[in-house]
Amino acid sequence: MKLDKLKSINCFITWMPVEEESGHVSKIPSLTGQPFDYAHYKEPGMLTDYATALARLESTPLLHDGGIGVCIPTGVLVLDLDKCRDPDVGTIAPAARTIMDECKSFSEISPSCNGIHVWCLANLPAGYHKKKFMRDGQSIEVLVPGSFCTFTGNAIGVCSALEDCTEYVSALYVEAGIQRTTIPNVYLPPSNDPLLHCRHSPGTCPYGLKAIEAQLIEVRTVKKAPGRRDALYTAAVSLGHIVAGSGQITRDQVYDALRPMGMLVNLTRGQCDYYITRGLERGAHKPVFRDCAPKNVKLLEGLPTKSERIF
The contact set with Zn ion (CB under 5 A) reads 198, 200, 205, 248, 292
CA distance 287 to 282: 10
Is the Cβ of residue 200 or residue 220 nearer to Zn ion in the bound state? 200
Helix 225-244 vs helix 251-264: angle between axes, to the nearest 10 degrees?
170
Which one-letter DSSP state was computed for residue 248?
Answer: S
CA distance 228 to 246: 28
Is the Cβ of residue 143 or residue 239 nearer to Zn ion in the bound state? 239
CB atoms within 10 A of CB 229: 18
Is the Cβ of residue 37 or residue 256 nearer to Zn ion in the bound state? 256
> Smallest distance from the beta carbon of 95 to Zn ion, in angstroms?
32
CA distance 225 to 43: 54
> Smallest distance from the beta carbon of 201 to Zn ion, in angstroms?
9
Which one-letter DSSP state was computed for residue 145?
Answer: T
Straight-line distance from the first to the last Cα atom of the chain, in angstroms, rounded to the nearest whole number: 16
3-class SS of residue 189:
coil
> Smallest distance from the beta carbon of 207 to Zn ion, in angstroms?
6
CA distance 59 to 33: 11
Which one-letter DSSP state was computed for residue 184?
Answer: P
> Smallest distance from the beta carbon of 242 to Zn ion, in angstroms?
10
> Smallest distance from the beta carbon of 199 to Zn ion, in angstroms?
6
Residues 6+ apart with CB under 8 A from 205: 198, 248, 249, 292
> Smallest distance from the beta carbon of 289 to Zn ion, in angstroms?
12
Is the Cβ of residue 87 or residue 294 nearer to Zn ion in the bound state? 294
Is the Cβ of residue 6 or residue 198 nearer to Zn ion in the bound state? 198
Is the Cβ of residue 56 or residue 197 nearer to Zn ion in the bound state? 197
Is the Cβ of residue 121 or residue 292 nearer to Zn ion in the bound state? 292
> Smallest distance from the beta carbon of 217 to Zn ion, in angstroms?
21
Residues 6+ apart with CB under 8 A from 228: 219, 222, 262, 265, 266, 267
